[in-house]
Amino acid sequence: MATPTRAPLPLLDIRNASRRFGELSAVDGVSLQIEAGEFFTLLGPSGCGKTTLLRLIAGFEPLDQGQIFLGGRDMSATPPEARPIHTVFQNYALFPHMSVAGNIGFPLRMRGVARAEIQTRVREALEDVQLPQMASRYPDELSGGQRQRVAIARALIDQPQLLLLDEPLAALDLKLREQMRVELIKLQQEVGITFVYVTHDQGEALALSHRIAVMNEGKVIQVGTPDAIYECPINRFVADFIGNCNLIDVVVAAVDGLTVQLSAKGMGTIRARVEQPVQPGQAGVLALRPERLRIDSDQAPAPDENRFDGTIRHQLYLGDVTRYRVELHGGVTMEVLLPNAGAGDRRVLAIGDQVQIAWHDTAGRFLNA
């Protein structure tokens, strides 16, 4: 995905934003800079504060602390109706007593745009979202996908500077959800408006975003491009939350430059590379993506490779890939993901088979505990 060109000032500048509800810190000292034209995702488990952060940006919640700047202007004293920001809500929040045209024209009506112009622009907007004949329908007569398009058309009709999307795909079925991902990316490129997208679905975040902020317990844990987040998680939480990951508790046993020997309970010694110098005796976690592991049998280990004996305990056939759980002889269970590239692959390995799993020493990532 193309990285947007850098503007001199970030469009949205969140500085140390906090919001408490009683004892709970829903958003806790969050700072983020989002560039104009970016597709930016707030990703985290439910209750991590991502929706509250979205509501702070929209202006529905007051800040307890910190500031939010949009295009260099402090938004603290600006009510939601005066912010050039619109939101696509989780259940779309279409006005049930207004027709599709009434819903889409609402922002223009509120701004006192002339009736004739509203009609023209609503007609254009309906054509843009491929619902030209739906103008006089009511929201309860639309399908989920149609409602979502109306909600997006409504939020884009007066060209806000920023569009907030609160889990807009969560209410759709799987097939439609995947189709809408592609459409959302296309739409964002066409309109060129900055999107801030909230989701708990890491697959969605990876597929859609230019950059992702992973949140947990009200704090931003890591900000980065999808591949940076996936390949270089900064801690156990991110590694575990994004995709699947084997997480092995380890202690640094020996250091040779950036190549280290790690000792893990039940496994003995593991070779790994680190990016920053570590000290012997340091405790940490080795994160290993299941697709970086191989299953093969009885080969001599190469010098830069790790190799362990184990038994296949579970096998989950998923069509394009098969997920195996292999119990190593020391008792540790590892997950391995293999593509079903050849037609016979599935029958070669079976539950109970004695196998070896192997990975290159660059495949793992050492994380501080």
Partner 1 sequence: MPDKERLTRWLIAGPPWLYLLLLFVAPTLIMVAASFGWPGAEGGLSPLWVRDAQGVHFDLTLDNYTDLAATSVYAWLFLKSLAYAVVVTACCLILAYPLALTIARSPKRWRDALLLLVILPFWSNFLVRIYAWMIILGPQAGLSRLVNGVLAWLHMEPVALLFSPFAVLIGLVYVHLPFMILPLYANLEKHDPALLDAARDLGAAPWQCFWQITFPLSRPGVVAGAILVFIPALGAFAVPDILGGTGGIMIGNVIKMQFLEARDWPFGSALSIVMTVLVLVLTAAAAWAARRSGGRIYA
Query: What is the contact surface with partner 1 in residues (CB under 8 A)?
Result: 58-60, 79-82, 85-87, 89-91, 93-97, 99, 106-107, 110-111, 138, 154-155, 158
For the CB of residue 220, give the shortest distance to partner 1 in the complex, in Å. 24
For the CB of residue 166, give the shortest distance to partner 1 in the complex, in Å. 10
From the DSSP assignment, how many helices (H) and strands (E) are in the chain? 9, 20
For the CB of residue 315, give the shortest distance to partner 1 in the complex, in Å. 44
The span from the CA of 251 to the CA of 242, in Å, is 24
Beta-carbon contacts of residue 109 (< 8 Å; ≥ 6 apart): 118
Phi, psi of 46 (to 5 degrees): -65, 140
Q: Which two tokens stand for residue 76?
A: 């603290």
**C-alpha dihedral, 97 to 102 to 105 to 110, nearest 10°:** -50
- Judged by beta carbon, residue 37 or residue 59, the one nearer partner 1 is 59
Q: Do 334 and 246 form a contact (C-beta atoms < 8 A)?
A: yes
**358, β-bridge pairs:** 294, 307
Q: Do 194 and 37 form a contact (C-beta atoms < 8 A)?
A: yes
- Judged by beta carbon, residue 128 or residue 158, the one nearer partner 1 is 158
**333, β-bridge pairs:** 327
For the CB of residue 60, give the shortest distance to partner 1 in the complex, in Å. 5
- Judged by beta carbon, residue 112 or residue 352, the one nearer partner 1 is 112
For the CB of residue 314, give the shortest distance to partner 1 in the complex, in Å. 42
HSE of 231, CA atoms in CB hemisphere, 13 A: 8
- Judged by beta carbon, residue 82 or residue 316, the one nearer partner 1 is 82
- Judged by beta carbon, residue 81 or residue 320, the one nearer partner 1 is 81
- Judged by beta carbon, residue 66 or residue 80, the one nearer partner 1 is 80
For the CB of residue 154, give the shortest distance to partner 1 in the complex, in Å. 7
